[in-house]
Chains A and B, each alone.
Chain A
Amino acid sequence: MLKYGLAYGLLSSRRRAREMLLPAITIATGAFLVVIVFAMSAGIKKQAAGLGHADEIGHAIVLIAVTVLLVGVVEAAVATTRTIAHRTRELGVLGATGVRSRPVLMALLVEPVVTAFFGALGGAVIAAVVGAVLGTVGAVSSGVSAGGTVTGIVIAVAVSVVAAVITSVVPIWRAVNRPPIKSLSAS
C-alpha cells in the first residue's frame, strides 16, 4: 500500500510543480549559503581571525548559515499546509473509500521531500559552481576547498530533507486523521 501511496504522491506533485517553486527557491537560498560557507571556510576563518575569537566566530557563521537553511525549509512546510487546505476534499474521498492513513501520509509527504531535496540540491550545485568559478578566477584569495564543498552539499541536502519531513508531518497527520465526513463537507 505504501508503494501506491508514494506513486500517488509523485503523480500529484508533478501536477503541483508550480506551487512548489517558492519553497524550492527559499530552500535553495539557504543551501547556497551553507555550501558557500563550507567551501570558503578557510577564507571565512581568516576573516573571523581578523575579528578575534576565530573559532567561536567560525562556529557562529556555520550555525547561522544552517539556521537560514531551516528558515527556507519552513516555507516548504507552510506550502504543505496550503496543499492540505486545497486538497481537503480529496483527502475526504480517500478516507471515505477506505484508504488507510499511512499511505495518504506518504503521498502527502512526497511533496515537501521532493521540494526540499531538489531545492537544496539546486542551491548547492549553484553554490559549488559559483565557488569553483571564484576559485579559478582567483577572486577568493584563500581558495575554495573541494572537501568543504562536498561536506556542505551533504549537510545542506540532509538537513533540508529531514527538517522538511519533521515540520510537515504534524499538519499532514492532523489532516489525514480528520473524519472523512468533515473533510468532504469543508467548503
Chain B
Amino acid sequence: MRLTIKDVTASQIVSQTETSPSPNVVLPASSGGTFGRLMRFAIANIRRRPERFVLSVLGIALAIAAVTVVRTISTSFAITGGDSVTNAIGGHAIWVVPAQGVTYDSGAGALVADGPPSDITLPAGWTGTEMIAGLWYSPHGQVAVYGVAGTPAGKAVMSAQLAQRLGVSDGGPLSLAGHTVTVSVSGGSPALTVSPDLAKDVVKNVGWWVADEPTADHGRNDLGKLFGSAVGLPFTQNPAQTPDSSGKGLVYDTTTGSGALSFAQKYASAFSGQVTDSTLGLISIIGLVLGFVIAVSSFLASVQERRREFGIMSSIGLADEVLYFFLVESGVVFVAAWLIGVLGAGVAVWAVLPHLATPVAWAQASATVAAFLPAMAIVGAIVPVHRLLQQRPVALLTD
C-alpha cells in the first residue's frame, strides 16, 4: 500500500510528530471489555456481507420455527395428557385399564375407556371401585361421562366450562340420553360425573377400576406387583405400555416406584412422545439438521473469503483468538435466528392451530429449542476454524 500525504505542510508534520505518543505511553483501550470488542468485530463482519447474514439467519430461523411448532404441539399434548390422567384416576394408587385400552378423546378433552372394566374381585383389605368412563354424543359434541360411586342419582356434576358448552346452568335440568338430571356445577374436570347406573345407561358398560392399598401396605413401592398378582393381571409402572388386547386388562401402579417423575408426568411424556415420534417430529428434526448445514456452509464461505485476514492474525500469534471471533459471530447468528424462529412459530401456531396450543406450551417449547442452540453455535464455529488452523499462516497469506 502506498501512503500519500496531501495538503499537509511541513510544520503540521513536525507538530504531529512532536505530539505523537512516545513508545512508553499506553494507547487508550477501546471501551466495552473483551466481549464488547469481539461483538464489534463480529458486527463489522456481518455488515460486510449483510445478505449472507440475513440468509443464514433466515434458514436457521425457519428450521427453528418448524421445531418450535412441533414442540409446542407436543408440550400442549403433555399438558392435556397429564391433566386428563389426573382427572380420570384422581389420587388412587392403582388403575386397572381394560384390555381394549383407554384413549384420549380430543372432542371431549378427557380419557375414556374402550372396553368393559376388567372382571376382577378386589383382594382383601384393598379399597376401590369400578368406574364407568365412556363417550356421550350430545347435541353439543362429544362429552366424557364418568360414573363415580357416591354421586347421587339424578344429579350431574360438571365444570362451569362444560355447563356453558352444553347450555345449562347450576340447578337446571339436563336431558341425558332420555334421562333428566339436575346440573350441579363444581370442579374443573372436563368430564360429566353421574351415578354409575346412569353412566352405564348412557355410555354402556365401558370403564376401568381404581383401587387403593390397605393401610398396612402404605408407602410400599411394589403396590402394582401386589395387586397384579392378587387379581391375576399383568402390572406396570410405565404408562407408555399398553394392555395386550387379547388379555384381561393391565394394572398401572401410579405411585412413584421408580424415578422422580409422577405417574401423571410420565403419562404426559408418553402422550407428547406420540407427537415427537410421529412424522411431524421426524420432519422437524430433518429441518433442524438442514438449518445447521446452512450455518456451517455459510461460516465456511466466510472463512474462505477471509483467509488473508486470518493469515495476518495467526502470523502475529492470534491463532487461538480466531476461534473466539467465530464463536461470537456464530452466537449472534443463532440468537437472532432463535428470536425470529420462535416468534414466527408463535404466529404460525396462533394462526393455524389456535385450539391446540397454549402460550405456556409455546414458551416451554421455545425454552427447549433454546437448549439446543449453544451446542449448535459452538460446533458451527469450531468446524470452519478447525479447517483454518490446520494451515500455516504463510499458506493463508499467499493465496
Contacts and interface: CB of A to CB of B under 8 A. Distances in A.
B65 A67 contact: yes
Contacts of A145: none
Given A52-B106, A77-B55, A187-B308, A68 B279 contact: no
Contacts of A67: 62-63, 65-66, 287
Interface in A46-65: 47-48, 50-53, 56-57, 59-61, 63-65
A86 B65 CA distance: 32
B117 interface: no
Interface in A63-110: 63-65, 67-68, 70-72, 74-75, 77-79, 81-82, 85
B352 interface: yes
A144 B274 CA distance: 23
Given A64-B70, A68-B290, A71-B62, A81 B283 contact: no
Interface in A158-187: 167, 170-171, 174, 187
| Interface residue SS majority, chain B | helix
A70 B291 CA distance: 10
A30 interface: yes
Nearest to A44: B279
Contact of B104 (A52, A65, A170): A52
A53 B275 CA distance: 12
A26 interface: yes
B290 A75 contact: yes
Nearest to A25: B293
A113 B106 CA distance: 44
B13 interface: no
Contacts of A44: 279
A156 interface: no
B149 interface: no
A26 B352 contact: no
Contact of A171 (B51, B69, B305, B355): B51
Interface string B65-97: 110011001000100000000000000000000
Contacts of B278: 47-48, 51
A115 interface: no
A144 to B, nearest CB: 14
B305 A85 contact: yes
Given A37-B279, A61-B280, A85-B305, A52 B105 contact: yes
Contacts, number: 122
Interface in B262-301: 274-275, 278-280, 283-284, 286-287, 290-291, 293-294, 297-298, 301
B52 interface: yes
Contact of B294 (A59, A63, A78): A78
| Interface residue SS majority, chain A | helix
B365 interface: no
Given A52-B105, A71-B290, A61 B279 contact: yes
A74 B294 contact: yes
A81 B301 CA distance: 9
Given A30-B290, A56-B352, A64 B66 contact: yes
A29 interface: yes
Nearest to B109: A52
B63 A60 contact: no
Contacts of A56: 352-353, 355-356
Contact of A64 (B284, B305, B308): B284
A26 B283 contact: no
Nearest to B56: A78
A2 to B, nearest CB: 24
A124 interface: no
A187 to B, nearest CB: 7
Interface in A107-161: none
Contacts of A48: 278
Given A33-B283, A60-B73, A75-B293, A51 B63 contact: no
B73 A57 contact: yes
Contacts of A52: 104-107
Nearest to A50: B274
B286 A68 contact: yes
B348 interface: yes
A59 B69 CA distance: 12
A52 B80 CA distance: 12
Contacts of B291: 71
A81 B304 CA distance: 12
Contacts of A33: 283, 286
Q: 9 closest pairs, A vs B, by CB?
A: A52-B106, A74-B59, A68-B287, A171-B51, A82-B301, A81-B52, A67-B66, A71-B290, A71-B62
Given A52-B107, A64-B280, A74-B58, 13 more contacts: A33-B286, A37-B279, A48-B278, A51-B274, A56-B352, A60-B73, A60-B280, A61-B279, A67-B287, A68-B290, A75-B290, A77-B55, A167-B55
Interface of B: 49, 51-52, 55-56, 58-59, 62-63, 65-66, 69-70, 73, 77, 104-107, 274-275, 278-280, 283-284, 286-287, 290-291, 293-294, 297-298, 301, 304-305, 308, 348, 352-353, 355-356
28 contacts: A29-B290, A47-B278, A53-B355, A56-B352, A56-B353, A56-B356, A59-B353, A63-B348, A64-B70, A64-B287, A67-B65, A68-B62, A70-B62, A71-B63, A71-B287, A71-B291, A72-B290, A74-B59, A75-B294, A77-B55, A78-B55, A78-B294, A81-B51, A81-B55, A81-B301, A82-B304, A167-B55, A174-B51
